[in-house]
Structure 1
């Protein structure tokens, strides 16, 4: 498999089947709506969902039936704008929000467009992703980034947007204690956002020592490695080791692991808040008695909604959150498959794939 960068008009990284990928030159997408823009994609992060589609060909009811371009964590440069676009111009650097809602259903009209019934989300069947030279998005789903944010950092706005949404679901307030299960990219960013929101204690929980050490250096105030014992026993140790009194104010699960869910419910104080951000098995056992008797506030969290991307950009631009430390590898476009293999093997925190800059003198050249 090779990438013919010099002659391709819109080179794309396409998933054909389980562990079957190829580079394909596809037509440059057209601007069909006057509010849309054409983006030259510069960097794309690899998400766990991308790897899952590559390895299994499906996630739940979303099954790859036709060849699909992968990727959805991207940044790029505007190279063409629709006639009604007023807030962006050719040459602007942007973070790309990859899910476009219908804007007409009840969730959209209620301000919860992440729950849109007809969401067109990049690299979720049947919609193509952003691992291509060009991608079209509505103007209001491209966020202009200031000069002090690099294009690499801008690609991390997608997982940061997820973390912002989770923390907003949790309604974190200054001085509160937050326990975050899972020290992957989203869990680490949840720690960072919680810290930016003023949480005084942020305990990162994971079974991988290296991720815990990174979490401690990055944004957590303490770390905890669960023992092979009952979740309730681990919860007691978390409370005791971190002087949480009657329990934590807030628990965020970014792992999806059943043991983490159980431990999280048990570690909360009465009246505390639990937010499920990680996706694991579709069905698990659940400590319903503890949830009821503590009268917990239990919430789900899905992707990101209104204001989340904007806040993510602001947090990085202001220096309240540093996402550079999460970027542990950048590979060339032609090495995309190798990057997927590395992420699957658990190497690094966040791997980016460099896109193909538009340097041609043609209609899209910058």
Structure 2
């Protein structure tokens, strides 16, 4: 099959590649319709690695996907041919200790689309387990279905924050994940969510949503703004979603005593963290790595209409123009949030 293949750092090809399509009894074969371009895909393209995950051989990109079931295994019960679906791209070992604890996202043996050496889904067909394939409601488009995966990260962050209705929050970073986190926090009960960034275009997109307060930190002192709005108390929750080392400098200034910081962004290099500042406020700290047990709930929120992700789709490319989509994503266009590639 043709696929978008990362041959090596900074080299993409749209070419034929042998990919397994053997259908097990509990698997479904899916015709891919829409695939989102994720920041991790772009990072593999531009850097050839993310932490310990290194591209040492050609790899098909893509892990945010929706499509149509075209064949089912003999024991599949919840899906049928013709169903429109989205897929949770990480497949754990269901017998592992992590899976039994309900934290299968950190199962060391998980296979995750487009994470070396596992191929992704930017190809016309994939075979995938029924257990991690979700039927799309009629009112959810393929484009929205392909957004469930990144929104699930926001859902994981909101769950880790243990939001109490009426909480206030700050999200550092107005990229795709930052905005997803802000929307999940609002859906989880936050009354107001500040989103900080350096780029006005991205802040303008975030500011379209009721309950989100965009703050450009080039123009506004974020600490002073938070202090003024909270009577010098601080927000209940801070979500760090930028991955920038600079974001950690003074991060404890924004959160109230006894509040929570959730680390979502992944810095490329190790960073310093002021543990004394955290201890002085007894700040609770949580981390996020992908997601577990939230994918279906993310889909349900989108289907309910309470979370509208359509404004975040800022460009759509055909499969034949996949390389151009990645080149645009790598260019850092300030008006872009989420680019998608359509195969259907």
TM-score by length of 2: 0.96
C-alpha separation in 1, matches of 2:176 and 2:194: 15
Match of 2:62 in 1: 71
Q: Distance in 1 between matches of 2:127 and 2:250?
A: 43
Change (3 A) 1:244 1:48: farther
Q: In structure 2, do the counterparts of structure 1 residues 331 and 238 end up closer, same or farther at CA, with 3 Å as the change threshold?
A: same
Q: Is the 8 A contact 1:28 1:134 kept in 2?
A: no
Which of 50, 69, 78 is matched with 1:59 structurally? 50
Q: Write out per-residue CA displacement over residues 54-78 of structure 1, whole angstroms, 9 at most, x where no aligned residue.
A: 1121111111111110010111111
For 2:340, the equivalent position in structure 1 comes to 352
1:252 aligns with 2:239: yes
* Change in 2 beyond 3 A, CA 1:164/1:40: same
Asked if residue 325 in structure 1 is aligned to residue 311 in structure 2, the reply is yes
CA shift, 1:207, in A, is 0.8
Give the distance between the partners of 1:110 and 1:196, measured in 2 at CA.
Answer: 26
Which residue number corresponds to residue 276 of structure 1?
263
Q: Is contact 1:235-1:263 (8 Å) kept?
A: no
Kept after mapping to 2: 8 A contact 1:254/1:278: yes
* Counterparts in 2 of 1:244 and 1:142: CA distance versus 1, 3 Å: farther
**Shift, 1:346, TM fit:** 2.0
Contact 1:188 1:219 in 2 (8 A): no
> How far apart, CA to CA, are the structure 2 residues paired with 1:220 and 1:184?
17
Equivalent residue number for residue 335 of structure 1: 321
**Equivalent residues of 2:72, 2:81 under 8 A apart:** yes
CA distance in 2, matches of 1:44, 1:140: 20
Say whether the 8 Å CA contact 1:238–1:267 is kept in structure 2.
Answer: no
RMSD: 1.6
Deviation sequence 1:293-348 (CA, Å, 0-9, x none): 11111010010101x11111111110110011111111010111111111112231
* Secondary structure of the structure 2 residue equivalent to 1:217: coil
* SS of aligned partner of 1:108: helix
| Distance of 1:186 and 1:53 partners within structure 2 | 17
Give the alignment of 1:201-240 within 5 angstroms: 201-227=192-218, 234-240=221-227
- Is 1:110 the equivalent of 2:97? no
**Aligned pair count?**
342
- Please give the TM-score of this superposition, normalised by the length of structure 1: 0.90
Cα distance in structure 2, aligned partners of 1:214 and 1:242: 22
Q: Give how far 1:244 is off.
A: 5.2
Q: Which residue of 2 aligns with 1:157?
A: 148
Which residue in the other structure is 2:274 paired with? Answer: 287
**Contiguous gaps of at least 5 residues in structure 1:** 1-9, 358-366
Does the 8 Å CA contact 1:36/1:81 hold for their aligned counterparts? yes
Unmatched 5+ stretches in structure 2 = none
Structure-2 residue corresponding to 1:89: 80
